[in-house]
Amino acid sequence: MRSDVLARISTDDLIHNFNALRSRCAAGVRMCVPLKANAYGHGIKTVAPALYRAGAHCAAVATLSEAVELREIGWDRPILVLGHVLAVADAAERRERLAAAARHRLALTIADEGALEALGRLDTAGPIDVHVKVDSGMGRMGAPPEEAVALFDKADSIRQVRVAGIYSHFATADLEAPELAQAQLATFRNVLRAAAHRLSKGVIRHLANSAATITLPESHFDMVRPGLALYGYAPSRHMLELINLRPVLRLVSHVSLVKILPPGHCVGYGKTFTTARKTRLGIVPVGYADGFVRALSNAAIVGTRRGDAPVVGRVSMDQLAIDLTDIGEISPGDEVVLIDNRPDRPNSVQAIADRLGTIPYEVTCLLGPRIDRVSTGNSCAEPS
């Protein structure tokens, strides 16, 4: 049996985006594909094989469990774990994590000497790859620039460690104001110069996210890590004319019940909507447990074969209601498009993000585990 909610993923459009981003880079620049958070909600089991076939050099995830899942579905290329996963108090848990990193050949992010010391206590036949992360100005994960060279020196003294990369992350590359991004780029370059005696030919330097991949070629170095843009969403509106991206996700369900309510009838919890007329109501088996969040109550639009319908009443955990009164005949089983892959639609990812006062990342990452992610193979450029 399939789920009542389907995320149709166009792998053709995904590969189109991959190639469009790769074309922004010079020859030889590698592509690292971020697959964390279940491929930004799109489904790692659907997305990863397509990007593998497209030629992605490596994948980036946030946690060890994500990395292990990626290995289990057949990804045999490098995997970089972005999270600081060795910073746990329990020694047994830390040993288990180290063993998993060694067993699955994972590259770990290092931002302080404590993680290196933990690696130094690991009894392993071969070294574990690490990438030193530098805080170039974002103020989040990463070693201060003045401590980065010392981390390289420390890593070189530990036989269980092989430095495979050095990287940082932009805070504002998606903004039109370039000051902080340029300052971060300069800081990262300064660290590279200071650590030049430790940067052997095989050490990968990487900094560019989606926005920098599109607009800052001087930040590409050896590898880029475009995340959101892979899935078809521009990091900022001013980049829409710079690159042709195609949203790959189309989220659909169906009408499970059609009923008539008289005027003055409540719809949903809290009596936030009361019918003002005789109303033909459709029930859709999707709710906030699936990522169609409660904040969309009385605020969202969904698509049907007869036209758009508003969501009325509060979105429940497993159901929502739509007003079918002003559109043509709709029957149980008819498809409902919850998130449209066409950017100009009122239920596109960007339109939903705007309505919620958030960003596209959050809209797709909230899509829940009950949703079946299925590959359409073909382009979703036109409605199916």
Query: Which residues 6+ apart lie within 8 Å of 368 measured at CB?
Result: 289, 290, 291
CB 373 within 8 A of CB 51: no
- Cα separation, 40 vs 90, in Å, equals 30
Distances (CA, A) of 19 to 48, 94, 164, 251, 253: 15, 39, 25, 24, 31
Cα–Cα distances in angstroms (integers) from residue 187 to residues 41, 138, 181, 184, 191, in the given order: 33, 11, 10, 5, 6
Q: How far apart are CA 295 and CA 20, in angstroms?
A: 34
* Cβ 339 vs Cβ 350: under 8 Å: no
Separation CA 294–CA 232 (nearest Å): 25
| 269 is annotated as an active-site residue | yes
List the one residue out of 334, 347, 323, 346 whose CA is nearest residue 268: 323
Q: Tokens 């049996």: give the residue.
A: 1
Q: How many Å apart are CA 85 and CA 110, to the nearest integer? A: 9
8 A C-beta contact, residue 159 and residue 114? no
Catalytic pick from 45, 259, 269, 271?
269
Would residue 232 be called left, alpha or beta, if left means φ above 0 and alpha means ψ between -120 and 50 degrees?
A: left
- Entry field: residues in the chain: 384
Q: Which of 36, 167, 231, 288 is catalytic?
A: 36
**What CA–CA distance (Å, rounded) separates 370 from 331?**
24
**Residues tagged active-site:** 36, 269
